């Protein structure tokens, strides 16, 4: 008898689990065919079930002769549930396995010269446990995209990715097949067939020139073409390079001109365009790639990103590169924001509520030896993950491929390096995930990309994940329910008695089982026994229960002191069906013995000439108080042809003083325009806390009907020479009106 290593019952169980544990896709097996492996004595039982199920026995095989296991091939009607039929046969004692006729196919390996000759390091993996490609195609710090290809995960033409950039060469030999075509437009008929307000937007739109040409020429649009190639150049076609996603639809939206310049308004319009395409025409836009950025906060742009998130569109954004003023060294985005990478869709903006989930993925760049690229911006709180971004080979206009370009101003060759090059690696991974798991929500995709990041020494403390992109790990990531504890705050006393802080402990999804989790407080700046009562214990959740509350008592005193905090940490989760999430929670004790600073809001017409803001203390201070006060732009700008005059100063309150008045000059123009806002921010207070850190100045236009074209945006004409000098030197100023994120 033929030797079998596994026990028959184990063999049957494993086989059925394999069958039940996956989605049965028609592309995976031959429809209507089952194979049953069994002990010869049970054939009569198989025949009986076949008659009862109206299943035809096509062939019976005695594979090894004598008393070895036999195999029978069955023909099942295509309108029958193959899995249920298989389960009936599996119930028979003596049946070892029941399986569909799985289709075998060779693994996808790129035959594109750029890949096989060792130039696409960003696509490579560590070749463990199996080697992919040839001997030149290994790099431990690559994205591992080749592993996904090896599992036949190469994308889908049902997944659409928008590329906001310079134009894309839609006729490039390695891109043409993957360019999106608007199903609602008839090319060249001069009509807006799909009624979206854009005539003949067959492949996208040019928001620079306001026309339907998404590619303006070889010399004008290399950046967008290079980005598109990394994201989605056709793979396996024997030419050029391979993108992370071989099969994807790229939607070009031209928002940068030939000099890498654009405006926040043009970017906002582009995002509004793609959001409406998904909302109204049901185009399956999964994500947008943004290899660009601006250094000023723009509420309308933020609102556009939030609205896109609400339609299920992820925002992948380059974290930004260092400028000449920083010797081209990357800076900390936690301190100096770059947008859209620094946006959060969980935060509201003027007139727009936050989204239900975080849609932004901010991407830094690493080199081929795993170091954070010297030019790459970073930020533990504001940059999420890193990806390959140094000397990246990709498509450029005119059926060409480059990993370096001639820099006219520097008069030398410069590599295609930058967070601009890193971002499309992540966007391509998003496209592959969406193709492999088409029912996944955008928040699930984002979670998989970030939680599967490979820990990398150079990124520890420099990105939120501390890791780099791992494409196949993201696709294989299992999203577990998470048990988290909230952060909270409370007053030191309430109505003359000691206060408290309530912490919510919650699980993201219901479990059908009970479980427990331990908690314990620990000191921060607040000290147990002096500022709050230490606590520890165990919470037990019943099946289906999702939230419990922990109440921590505070200790009231009469000391004037700064706000203090302590931690509450979860541990020892009892179930294997969930994981610990946000942890620890921070409890902030709001000291009510310390005066607090506040600033009022002001709303008036622009003809008022001056807005009077009052910075006040909630109580008399017995010591000297200082606070930094500075204006910040919203839709209202403080620049050439400005809406108001900016200022920054330090206010000093002597003992006994409780208020100071600040006057902000408002420019009265004759232009009909939207309501505009600016901000007065308080920071760096000494001796007191800040209860309200921002005053809002709302300028009401009194010049009549609002002009249709009066959209707030960042433009060259709206910036003064002093504004430019604060940001860039003369050479950079000539090259950038917007900060194009490329080296």
Angstrom distances, CA of residue 1 to CA of 6, 42, 66, 734:
14, 17, 7, 83
Q: Is 348 left (phi over 0), alpha (psi -120 to 50) or beta?
A: beta
Given the candidates 3.30.70.20, 3.30.530.20, 2.60.40.2030, 3.30.70.1060, the CATH classification of the domain at 596-712 is 2.60.40.2030
**Any idea which fold 482-590 has?**
Immunoglobulin-like (2.60.40)
pTM: 0.60
Phi and psi of 460, rounded to 5°?
-65, 125
Burial bucket for residue 518 (CB in 10 Å: 0-12, 13-18, 19+): middle
> What three-state secondary structure class fits 598?
strand
Strands 285-290, 155-165: parallel, antiparallel or unpaired by DSSP?
parallel
Quick one: pLDDT at residue 34? 86
Phi and psi of 663, rounded to 5°?
-105, 130
User: Mean pLDDT, 10 residues at a time, over the chain (743 residues)?
Assistant: 25 28 43 85 88 89 65 87 84 84 62 89 84 81 94 95 97 97 95 95 96 93 96 95 97 93 92 96 97 91 95 97 83 92 90 89 97 95 95 94 70 78 98 95 93 93 94 90 89 80 91 95 92 96 94 83 86 90 83 81 89 88 88 84 86 91 88 85 86 89 47 36 36 33 36
Rounded CA separation 200/214 (Å): 12
Which of 97, 156, 420, 470 is catalytic? The answer is 420
Contact in structure between 123 and 231 (CB atoms under 8 Å): no
Which of 172, 223, 226, 425 is catalytic? The answer is 223
Q: Which two tokens stand for residue 131?
A: 């080697």
**Could you confirm whether 172 is annotated as catalytic?**
no
Rounded CA separation 401/120 (Å): 11
Count other Cβ atoms within 10 Å, centred on residue 541. Answer: 23
596-712 shares the fold of 8-102: no
Quick one: pLDDT at residue 358? 92
Rounded CA separation 657/734 (Å): 49
Q: What is the enclosing helix (H) or strand (E) of 74?
A: strand 70-75
Matching residue, tokens 């609602």: 184
Quick one: pLDDT at residue 710? 27
**Any idea which fold 8-102 has?**
Alpha-Beta Plaits (3.30.70)
Quick one: pLDDT at residue 621? 81
Partner residues linked to 339 by β-bridges = 294
Rounded CA separation 275/534 (Å): 49
C-alpha neighbours within 13 Å on the C-beta side of residue 68: 11
> What three-state secondary structure class fits 420?
helix
> What three-state secondary structure class fits 130?
coil
Quick one: pLDDT at residue 388? 97
Which of 15, 70, 156, 165 is catalytic? The answer is 165
**Could you confirm whether 291 is annotated as catalytic?**
no
Quick one: pLDDT at residue 239? 93
Quick one: pLDDT at residue 88? 86
Quick one: pLDDT at residue 663? 93
SS (H, E, C) 428-486: HHHHHHHHHCCCCCHHHHHHHHHHCCEECHHHCCCCCCCEECCHHHHHHCCCCCEEEEC
**Any idea which fold 119-476 has?**
Rossmann fold (3.40.50)
Return the domain boundaries, the chain.
Answer: 8-102, 119-476, 482-590, 596-712
Quick one: pLDDT at residue 412? 61
């Amino acid at each position: 008898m033929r030797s079998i290593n596994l026990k028959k019952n184990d063999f049957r169980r494993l086989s059925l689990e394999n069958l039940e544990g996956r989605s049965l896709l028609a592309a995976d097996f031959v429809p209507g065919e089952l194979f049953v492996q069994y002990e010869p004595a049970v054939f009569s039982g198989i025949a009986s079930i076949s008659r009862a199920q109206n299943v035809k026995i096509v062939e019976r095989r005695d594979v090894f002769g004598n008393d070895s296991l036999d195999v029978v091939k069955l023909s099942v009607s295509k309108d029958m549930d193959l899995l249920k039929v298989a389960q009936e046969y599996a119930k028979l004692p003596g049946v070892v396995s029941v399986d569909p006729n799985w289709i075998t196919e060779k693994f996808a390996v790129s035959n594109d010269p750029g890949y096989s000759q060792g130039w696409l390091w960003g696509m490579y993996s560590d070749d463990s446990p199996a080697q992919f490609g040839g001997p030149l195609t290994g790099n431990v710090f690559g994205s591992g995209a080749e592993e996904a290809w090896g599992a036949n995960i190469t994308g889908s033409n049902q997944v659409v990715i928008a590329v906001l950039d310079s134009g894309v060469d839609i006729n490039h030999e390695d891109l043409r097949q993957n360019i999106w075509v608007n199903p609602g437009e008839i090319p060249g008929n001069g009509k807006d067939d799909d009624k979206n307000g854009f005539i003949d937007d067959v492949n996208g739109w040019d928001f620079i020139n306001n026309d339907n040409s998404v590619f303006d020429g070889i010399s004008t649009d290399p950046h967008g073409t290079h980005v598109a190639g990394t994201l989605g150049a056709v793979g396996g076609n024997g030419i050029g390079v391979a993108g992370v996603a071989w099969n994807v639809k790229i939607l070009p939206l031209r928002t940068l001109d030939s000099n890498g310049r654009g405006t926040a308004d043009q970017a906002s319009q582009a995002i509004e365009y793609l959001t409406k395409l998904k909302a109204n025409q049901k185009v399956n836009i999964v994500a947008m790639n943004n290899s660009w950025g601006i250094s000023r906060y723009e509420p309308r742009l933020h609102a556009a990103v939030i609205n896109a998130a609400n339609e299920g569109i992820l925002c992948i954004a380059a974290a930004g590169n260092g400028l000449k003023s920083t010797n081209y060294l990357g800076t900390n985005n936690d301190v100096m924001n770059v947008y859209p990478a620094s946006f959060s869709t969980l935060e509201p903006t003027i007139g727009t509520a936050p989204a239900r989930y975080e849609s932004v993925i901010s991407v830094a760049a690493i080199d081929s030896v795993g170091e954070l690229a010297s030019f790459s911006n970073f930020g533990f709180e504001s940059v999420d993950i890193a990806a390959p971004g140094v000397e990246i080979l990709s498509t450029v206009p005119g059926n060409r491929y480059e990993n370096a370009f001639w820099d006219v101003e520097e008069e030398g060759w410069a590599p295609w390096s930058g967070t601009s090059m890193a971002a499309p690696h992540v966007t391509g991974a998003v496209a592959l995930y969406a193709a492999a798991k088409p029912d996944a929500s955008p928040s699930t995709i984002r979670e998989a990309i970030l939680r599967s990041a490979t820990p990398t020494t150079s990124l520890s403390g420099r990105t939120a994940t501390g890791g780099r992109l791992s494409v196949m790990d993201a696709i294989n990531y299992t999203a577990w329910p998470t048990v988290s504890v909230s952060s909270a705050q409370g007053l030191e006393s309430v109505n003359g008695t000691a206060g408290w802080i309530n912490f919510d402990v919650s699980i993201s999804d219901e479990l059908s089982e009970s479980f427990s989790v331990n908690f314990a407080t620990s000191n921060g700046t607040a000290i147990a026994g002096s500022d709050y009562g230490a606590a520890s214990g165990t919470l037990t959740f019943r099946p289906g229960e999702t939230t419990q509350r922990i109440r921590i008592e505070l200790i009231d005193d009469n000391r004037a002191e700064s706000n203090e905090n302590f931690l509450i940490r979860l541990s020892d989760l009892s179930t294997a069906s969930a994981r610990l999430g946000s942890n620890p929670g921070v409890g902030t004790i709001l000291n009510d013995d310390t005066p607090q600073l506040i600033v009022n809001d002001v709303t008036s017409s622009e003809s008022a000439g001056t807005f009077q803001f009052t910075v006040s203390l909630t109580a008399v201070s017995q010591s000297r108080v200082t606070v930094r006060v500075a204006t910040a732009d919203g839709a209202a700008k403080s620049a050439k042809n400005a809406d108001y005059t900016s200022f920054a100063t330090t206010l000093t309150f002597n003992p006994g003083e409780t208020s100071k008045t600040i006057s902000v000059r408002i420019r009265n123009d004759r232009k009909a325009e939207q309501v505009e806002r600016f901000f007065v921010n308080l920071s760096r207070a000494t001796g007191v806390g800040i209860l309200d850190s921002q005053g809002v100045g709302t300028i009401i236009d009194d010049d009549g009907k609002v002009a249709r074209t009066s959209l707030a945006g960042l433009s060259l004409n709206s910036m003064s020479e002093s504004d430019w000098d604060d940001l860039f030197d003369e050479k950079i100023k000539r090259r950038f009106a917007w900060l194009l994120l490329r080296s």
